[in-house]
Amino acid sequence: MQSKIQHLKSEMLAALHAAKTEEAIRETEIKYLGRSGLFNEIMKSLKDLPDEEKKTVGKAANVTKKEMEEAVSRRFISLESERLGQIAETEWLDVTVPGRKPVVGHRHLISKFIDDLEIIFGKMGFTVAEGPDVESEHYNFNQLNIPPDHPARDMQDTFWVANLPNTVLRTQTSPVQIRYMEAHKPPVRIICMGKTFRKDSDATHSPMFHQLEGLMVDEAISMANLKAIITHTLQQIFEDPSIKTRFRVSFFPFVEPGMEVDCTCPICHGEGKLPDNVPCRLCKQCGWLEIGGAGMVHPKVLKNAGYDSKKYTGFAFGFGLDRMVMIKHRINHLRLFFENDLRFIRQF
């Protein structure tokens, strides 16, 4: 009988080894060790043995049964580790590999510059005003002292909007001055920055470009205020306290007097040449750069906005914003800003 049990045990071990699923192991367990399994089948003949043998055989049979039960448990465990081994082969993950850095974009150079200007002017008490890109002839020209027959309209090659009478893409940010003054009483201290449009397109001109516009109106505002604000602003923009400004008489219909604004070249510091006598290409060796236009607000413009031009005076200025970014970052071509070539944009 003992040999029968030993035989049964080895048969079950082989079956367990062949069982590749939990279900198969469980079936094997039931077949051999279940209530009406093969083991109990053999044990039925125990009662036919003489009493002496019954004891020893029974004891040995129990030991073997325990071994068989343990074999079943071990098989369950080994099957689980086989399964995990397979997962490790197919779904492995090396937690020590450095992570892949997601690509994060950043603001465009022009947008960043606009933010910087807000800070520079914010410290001087200026707030930011905004107006529409698609503007009426009334605000873009008439209210700025540029009537329909005025030659200044030809100076600014205007995009007229088809099918919308008297509507243009704004040629300057100046209409925002009028809109703001109509809605606010003096004192006024605003800047306006944004897109402007003219039919210009060559190496140094783009049909869309950006302007920075400033307006300050109060009692007793003079040219001295204009010069101080503009000089300080340019020193802040180019991060160079040695920047000097000069003002040349010019004509803009919405100011009187009007002037062109120049500043010393931030690269050669007004010398026209770099160390070792290398000629400065940015200012073409003259030491000065044209930056924009400015002037005292024309009394007619103040009146158009409903201000008392006897009581209030003010100044306004308009700078080419793109050009200032080009100077600051030594960029040669205006088009680079708008071509969306990532190799250019990522440099800043």
- Binding flag, residue 268, Zn ion (CB under 5 A): yes
Residue position matching structure tokens 């003259």: 286
| Helices marked H in the chain | 2-18, 22-33, 38-43, 51-90, 109-122, 137-140, 152-155, 175-183, 223-237, 299-304, 321-329, 342-345
CB 246, min distance to Zn ion, A: 14
Query: Cα(128)–Cα(220) distance, rounded to whole angstroms?
Result: 23
- Binding flag, residue 305, Zn ion (CB under 5 A): no
Among the listed ranges 63-71, 84-92, 126-134, 283-291, the one in contact with Zn ion (CB under 5 A) is 283-291
Of 282 and 345, CB closest to Zn ion? 282
Among the listed ranges 26-34, 251-259, 282-290, 329-337, the one in contact with Zn ion (CB under 5 A) is 282-290
CB 113, min distance to Zn ion, A: 20
Query: Cα(342)–Cα(325) distance, rounded to whole angstroms?
Result: 18
Query: Cα(197)–Cα(306) distance, rounded to whole angstroms?
Result: 28
Among the listed ranges 74-82, 162-170, 262-270, 324-332, the one in contact with Zn ion (CB under 5 A) is 262-270
- Binding flag, residue 12, Zn ion (CB under 5 A): no
Among the listed ranges 4-12, 122-130, 277-285, 311-319, the one in contact with Zn ion (CB under 5 A) is 277-285
Of 161 and 282, CB closest to Zn ion? 282
Of 205 and 284, CB closest to Zn ion? 284
Q: DSSP labels for 49-61?
A: S-HHHHHHHHHHH
Among 334, 316, 147, CA closest to 229: 316
What residues from 63 to 82 belong to the interface with Zn ion (CB under 5 A)?
none
CB 138, min distance to Zn ion, A: 42
Kind of pairing between the strands at 255-264 and 273-274:
unpaired
Of 122 and 279, CB closest to Zn ion? 279
* Contact residues for 146 (Cβ-Cβ < 8 A; gap 6+): 152, 153, 253, 254
Number of amino acids touching Zn ion (CB under 5 A):
6
CB 348, min distance to Zn ion, A: 22
Specify the 3-state DSSP secondary structure of 296: strand
Query: Cα(144)–Cα(295) distance, rounded to whole angstroms?
Result: 13
CB 287, min distance to Zn ion, A: 6
Of 205 and 330, CB closest to Zn ion? 330
What residues from 308 to 337 belong to the interface with Zn ion (CB under 5 A)?
none
- Binding flag, residue 283, Zn ion (CB under 5 A): yes
CB 161, min distance to Zn ion, A: 41
- Binding flag, residue 243, Zn ion (CB under 5 A): no
- Binding flag, residue 265, Zn ion (CB under 5 A): yes
Of 229 and 283, CB closest to Zn ion? 283
The CB density around residue 302, as the number of other CB atoms within 10 Å, is 20
Among the listed ranges 12-20, 107-115, 210-218, 280-288, the one in contact with Zn ion (CB under 5 A) is 280-288
Of 186 and 287, CB closest to Zn ion? 287
Among 120, 132, 131, 9, CA closest to 71: 9
Please pick, from the candidates 280, 301, 327, 334, the single residue that binds Zn ion as defined by CB under 5 A.
280
Of 298 and 323, CB closest to Zn ion? 323
* Contact residues for 291 (Cβ-Cβ < 8 A; gap 6+): 234, 261, 262, 263, 319, 320, 323, 324
Of 2 and 285, CB closest to Zn ion? 285
What letter would DSSP give residue 248?
A: E
Q: DSSP labels for 87-143?
A: HHHHS---TTSPPPPPP-----HHHHHHHHHHHHHHTTT-EE----SEEEHHHHTGG
Among the listed ranges 150-158, 190-198, 214-222, 275-283, the one in contact with Zn ion (CB under 5 A) is 275-283
* Binding residues for Zn ion (CB under 5 A): 265, 267-268, 280, 282-283
